[in-house]
Structures are given as structure tokens and as C-alpha cells.
Amino acid sequence: MKNSLSKNSHRIKEVNKLKDCRVCGGTSLLTFLQLGPTPAPNGFLDKMQLNNSEKFYPLDVCFCESCGMVQLAHVVSPKVMFSNYVYIPSTSVTMQGHFNKLSIDAIKRTNAERGNLVVDIGSNDGTLLKFFKESEMQILGVDPAVNLADKANKEEIETICDLFTRDLAKRIRKEKGEAKIITATNVFAHAPDLHDFVEGVKALLSDDGLFIIEFPYLIDLLEKVEFDTIYQEHLSYIALTPLNKLLEKHGMYLIDAKRIPVHGGSIRVYVSKVNKASSQKFKSLIKLEKKKGILNRETYLKFRKRVDNIRHDLVQLLWSLRLKDKKIVGYGASAKGNVTLNYCRIGPETLDYIVDSISYKQGKFTPGMHIQIHPEKKLLEDQPDYTLILAWNFADEIINKQEEYRKKGGKFILMLPEVRIV
């Protein structure tokens, strides 16, 4: 078993321990799961870096007993997490289709016209903005990752390389005017200062505009035991109950919400500056959250128990297969996958390698457990007995793509909400 804290790990100055709730300032924060010292989940290593000292960060998650916001107990500086970012949604057919539908939904709900300004916060490589551009909207991206902002600008998706803040929002409004649509997909939960973020949106959004946020939904995380989506990039694990409180503090109104399947179960919320009546769907989700006990500590202690059972069952299965000399590999060198590998201490002694479609990751090694990553084609070349799908949010897409592997007897292992062979 690999030593969880490599001999060279040392206190990290970029980490701040939470003193009070990031939404309501409450101090009754219950830590219910500790995933142990974990390397930055997208910190893939080249071969020559394997013997360098590797930084490990605490990964404890707590919930605020006053407002229900689930959040990391330590904040790692965004500089560490986002300056060179490797998550690129355009590499997935699922996400391309998803963003196209989001752009159509947003334009329809706001009656946006040609030339209206659309700002995408955390715009990544511009995948979503490209669809707005096709609808002749004026577009602007904001993303702190230098590599992604460069890529987007080269493809003529104007992108400001910076973190979104209230000050930046005011500068954008001065230069470009009000935004009719502001989108934030898989970035709101990453924001270190939610209050400043919301104030920035308020400063930039037009009175008849919509702020549309998408994030993994806490109810899905709890129901499907998605513990591996808990990592340093995701500071908050959001439900509508605390989100509504946060928005109301800033005179913004949650008017509608709908659950969506991406990333293991997310939610899309529609926020306005005008206090319109909220939808029946939104009200029923608030009731569901109450029923699921998102404000009760027992809910989180039960979740913790289920996580422990999954870790036990997964390690048990992998070891039993290894003891029968079965060859096992991983599929999808994802951030969530790296959380699982580090939390369950799964290394190259268990998985020979991991295959992944992203060229940037191929040839590199996973952070912490140092499993090598190869192109997907290696799966058919090698035909290992079992493949553990680490990017389970794309399991259907991956299994369909690898029909040939299954025909030749290859089997997939899935782990959430329970460990199973398919």
C-alpha cells in the first residue's frame, strides 16, 4: 500500500481552513467525510516528475447546520487549481449536445435577439459560446486558465483570462454594456467567494436578462454516493435551499430549476433580478430537499457509511480479480477518477494503466498513485479482462464506443451507487 502522504509532502501555504459558512457565516460546520491528503485531481505528471515532491491537500467536507450548504473545509488557492486546466468539454459528444440545447433554452427564455451580449463565466475552451455565436449573439468568455483562454481566442471566441469578480463585471459592463444572458456551467461551485460572484452577475446582467447556472446537484451526490466528485476544485456542493438564501441576500431571485443528467446528475437554475413568481418545479425541488433531510446531520453520517462500503467493496473486488491473475485497467483519467484512486489507494499494482481520449493526458501519470495513461486504442490492442470505468458520468458513451472489447469478452466494472460488473 502506498504511503498516503509521500515522504516529501509538506504543509501547503495555499490552503486556508474554513472558519465559517461561505454562504451564511454560520459557525456550526459538521465535517462528515475525510478523503485524506489528496493531490490536485488534475495534476497529471510527466515521467520525469514522478520522483519530485508532490503536493497533497486536505480533502474534508462539511455541512452548515444553519443553511445546509455542503462545502470543503479547506480552500486551496484558485491559482493552484485553475491556471493550467485540463478539463475540456468539447472532447465529449455528450457535452457538445448538452451545450447546444442549453444555448437554445437560454435564447428562448430571454427572447434574446441577434447582437445581445452573452457572457459565459468559466467558459473553458468556448464550447458553449460557439453555439451562442451560431445564433448571432455577441459573446464573451471569462476563464482563468491560460491554456484554455488562448485556445478559445485563437478560435475567435473572445475570452478574458481572469477569475470572474465584481470588479471585472463592472469593467465588462462599461466596455460591452449589459448582458442579456450570463451562463455559469460547472464553475459556480468552484468560486472561492460566492457573494462577490453574485454581486458581479448582478452588476452585469440586464433587468430582463437571465443568469443560468449549472452545477452537480447535492441530491444526486447523496442519492448516488458520488463521493469522487468531492475534490479541491469544487468548494461547494449545492442544493436549492442554501442557494436561494444566498441569492436573496443579494436581491436576486431563483425563478425556475430543472434537474439534468450530465456529470452524474446536475441541476440548471434560472436567476433573475426581478422578483418573479418561482415555478412549481422549483417549489417541488425545495420540498424534495426537505424530505431528503439536507439540513439533518444523520443524512451526511449515512452518506459517509455508504462511501466506506463502496471503498471496501471496490478494493475487495479488484484484489480478488488480481489474485486470480486477471488483468485490470482503468478508463477515463478524470479528476473524479483520481479522487477514487487516491482514497482507495489503487495504484499500478492493481490497474496496469488507464486509457483516455484526451491527448494532453496520454503518456502522463495520474497524480498521487502514478498510473500511466494511454490512448483508448490500447484497450482493444491489449484486451484486458476487466476495465474499471473511472469517468462513470460517460459510462454509456464509453461502453457503446467499446462494443468490440465486450464482444471479445472484456468486462466493465462500475462503482456507483454500488460496485458491479457489467
- Using CB under 5 A as the criterion, which residues of the chain lie in contact with Zn ion when the complex forms? 21, 23-24, 26, 64, 66-67, 69
If binding is defined by CB under 6 A, does position 54 make contact with ligand DWN? no
Nearer to ligand DWN, 159 or 229 (CB): 229
Q: What is the DSSP letter of 136?
A: T
Which residue in 132, 197, 394, 412 binds ligand DWN (CB under 6 A)?
394
Which residue in 9, 49, 91, 299 binds ligand DWN (CB under 6 A)?
91
> What is the per-residue binding string for ligand DWN in 328-347, x denoting contact by CB under 6 A?
----xxxxx-----------
How many other C-beta atoms can be found within 10 angstroms of the C-beta atom of residue 312?
12
**ω before 417 within 30° of 0 (cis)?**
yes
Say if CB 44 and CB 373 are below 8 A apart: yes
Nearer to Zn ion, 64 or 221 (CB): 64
Residue partners of 198: CB distance under 8 A and separation at least 6: 246, 247, 250, 252
The helix/strand/coil state of 272 is: strand
Nearer to ligand DWN, 117 or 344 (CB): 344
Phi, psi of 163 (to 5 degrees): -80, 145
Give the helix ranges, DSSP H, for 139-217: 146-154, 166-176, 194-204
Which residue in 357, 366, 372, 387 binds ligand DWN (CB under 6 A)?
357
**Burial bucket for residue 379 (CB in 10 Å: 0-12, 13-18, 19+):** buried
Stretch of residues binding ligand DWN (CB under 6 A), selected from 52-60, 145-153, 248-256, 396-404: 396-404
The per-type count for the chain, helices as H runs and strands as E runs, is 14, 19
If binding is defined by CB under 6 A, does position 393 make contact with ligand DWN? yes
Nearer to ligand DWN, 143 or 172 (CB): 143
Residue partners of 62: CB distance under 8 A and separation at least 6: 18, 29, 30, 31, 32, 70, 71, 72, 73
If binding is defined by CB under 6 A, does position 35 make contact with ligand DWN? no
If binding is defined by CB under 6 A, does position 181 make contact with ligand DWN? no
If binding is defined by CB under 6 A, does position 144 make contact with ligand DWN? no
CA 34 centroid distance within chain: 18
Which residue in 245, 259, 304, 401 binds ligand DWN (CB under 6 A)?
401
Smallest gap from Cβ 40 to Zn ion, in A, equals 26
How many other C-beta atoms can be found within 10 angstroms of the C-beta atom of residue 128?
29
Smallest gap from Cβ 122 to Zn ion, in A, equals 23
Nearer to Zn ion, 64 or 181 (CB): 64
Say if CB 124 and CB 155 are below 8 A apart: no
Stretch of residues binding ligand DWN (CB under 6 A), selected from 84-92, 147-155, 195-203, 314-322: 84-92
If binding is defined by CB under 6 A, does position 127 make contact with ligand DWN? no
Smallest gap from Cβ 206 to ligand DWN, in A, equals 28
Nearer to ligand DWN, 87 or 253 (CB): 87
270, three cell numbers: 434560472
Nearer to ligand DWN, 24 or 80 (CB): 80
Smallest gap from Cβ 393 to ligand DWN, in A, equals 5
Give the helix ranges, DSSP H, for 186-332: 194-204, 218-223, 240-249, 280-291, 297-323
Rule CB under 6 A: which of 225-254 touch ligand DWN? Answer: 233
From the list Zn ion, ligand DWN, none, pick the one residue 92 interacts with, judged by a Cβ distance below 5 to 8 Å according to partner type. Answer: ligand DWN
Which residue in 22, 130, 173, 263 binds ligand DWN (CB under 6 A)?
263
307, three cell numbers: 462511501
The helix/strand/coil state of 235 is: coil
Q: CA-CA distance, 95 to 58, in Å (whole number)?
A: 30
Nearer to ligand DWN, 17 or 377 (CB): 377
Nearer to Zn ion, 27 or 284 (CB): 27
For 333, what's the count of Cα atoms within 13 Å in the CB-facing half-sphere?
Answer: 31
Residue partners of 344: CB distance under 8 A and separation at least 6: 311, 314, 315
Smallest gap from Cβ 97 to ligand DWN, in A, equals 12
From the list ligand DWN, Zn ion, none, pick the one residue 67 interacts with, judged by a Cβ distance below 5 to 8 Å according to partner type. Answer: Zn ion
Say if CB 162 and CB 168 are below 8 A apart: yes
Smallest gap from Cβ 374 to ligand DWN, in A, equals 10
Interface positions with ligand DWN (CB under 6 A): 87, 91-92, 186, 233, 263, 332-336, 356-358, 361, 376, 391, 393-394, 397-398, 401
